[in-house]
Amino acid sequence: MVNFNMQKKVDSVNGALALRPQIEQIVDGICEKGYRNICWMGIGGTWASAMQATVHMKQYSGIEVWAENAAEYLTTGNKRIGEGTVVVTSSVTGSTVEVVEAIRKAQAAGAEVIGFIDRPETELAKMVDHEIAYDENEQLKFFMVADRFMKNAGDFDQYDAQYANYDAHLAQALVDVECAADEFAAAFAKKHCEDEMHYFVGAGNQWGATYSYAMCYWEEQLWMKTKSITAPEFFHGMFEIVTKNTPVTIYVGEDAQRPLSERVVRFIPRICANYTVIDTKDYELAGIETEFRGDISHLVMHAVNNRIDVHMEIETRHPMEIRRYYRQLDY
């Protein structure tokens, strides 16, 4: 497989899972003191991960929780953020202007901040109350925080068994997904590398990934026009512009909102002959217990998309690290 280092990928996921004792110590300390609500803060891809964590927690817990866009918070504010608020954020560079200023504002209001900042020497890493530095696996890190808060609230009894299962099998299972998806990804990239517009549909813990993949990967990194839409909203506007030849990709996960995407899958053949369904159920995930699959559907889809990215680079002859404008000029 081109551009694929199996051991590096296994080590990356296992390294993220190994952060759990540190995460537990931080979360347990906050729970012992007491807190009022949890705000997942980000912008762009981090906001997408925040949406995934929020829908995940909404399924299991009554904890007050939401995803906050950092730029919107800077302009509108949010009276819910204050003493007793836990803000969770993430940043690769530690220098995203909107996030830095939003965290400053949240802390001034009394919030306590957990930050996954990949570069510990940056301003943002030094600002947050609890800093954890580790590259990649943002979604997994967010879910580990969410799950610990829910376990401590008595809402996530499967915590110990689920993470024992993940520790033993998750890294290899996700690598196996990439291997299994490679042939499909190559054909998909060849078919869609010259699309004028591509539509992505998702729901549940897939929605943040759907939004992020369309915007942060195809638009920002591949310079291809896309639109992302939630599966329930697909039937309230977007499907009117789908024709026989419109490229549509539907992500189907295994969490509680799976029926919303299945509805789109049942309908789409009536109006479109250029659709693709990517269903996490089609991947084995050896060793992962059936009842735990839904909570990692977004990670499975990310593994599939990793291979699509590799082959899109080949087909478009466009290295994904190149940017026209992002961090290239002031805006």
Domain at 16, CATH number: 3.40.50.10490
Name the residue range of residue 32's domain. Answer: 6-152
Q: CA separation (Å) from 220 to 223, 249, 262?
A: 6, 18, 29
**Residue 177 and residue 148 in one domain:** no
Q: CA separation (Å) from 76 to 47, 81, 89, 107, 293?
A: 16, 12, 19, 16, 37
**Residue 114 and residue 30 in one domain:** yes
Domain termination site, one of 118, 152, 186: 152
**Residue 68 and residue 203 in one domain:** no
Task: Kindly indicate the confidence band of residue 128, based on its pLDDT and cuts at 50, 70 and 90.
Answer: very high
Domain termination site, one of 100, 122, 152: 152
Residue 248 domain-assigned? Answer: yes
Residue 160 domain-assigned? Answer: no
Q: Identify the three-state secondary structure at position 311.
A: helix
**Residue 109 and residue 57 in one domain:** yes
**Residue 214 and residue 248 in one domain:** yes
127 contacts: CB under 8 Å, gap ≥ 6: 100, 103, 104, 107, 113, 115
pLDDT per residue over 192-202, tens digit each? 999 999 999 99
Residue 113 domain-assigned? Answer: yes
Q: In total, how many domains does the chain have? A: 2
Residue 248 to residue 226: CA distance in whole angstroms: 10
Average of per-residue pLDDT across 101-116 = 98
Taking phi first (over 0 means left), then psi (-120 to 50 degrees means alpha), and beta for anything else, what does residue 289 get?
beta
Task: Kindly indicate the confidence band of residue 74, based on its pLDDT and cuts at 50, 70 and 90.
Answer: very high
pLDDT per residue over 214-264, tens digit each? 999 999 999 999 999 999 999 999 999 999 999 999 999 999 999 999 999
Can you give the pTM of this predicted structure? Answer: 0.96
Residue 228 to residue 215: CA distance in whole angstroms: 8
Give the per-residue pLDDT at 196: 97
**Residue 236 and residue 291 in one domain:** yes
**Residue 146 and residue 184 in one domain:** no
Task: Kindly indicate the confidence band of residue 48, based on its pLDDT and cuts at 50, 70 and 90.
Answer: very high
**Residue 137 and residue 189 in one domain:** no
**Residue 145 and residue 74 in one domain:** yes
Domain termination site, one of 101, 118, 152: 152
Residue 167 domain-assigned? Answer: no
**Residue 55 and residue 128 in one domain:** yes
Task: Kindly indicate the confidence band of residue 141, based on its pLDDT and cuts at 50, 70 and 90.
Answer: very high
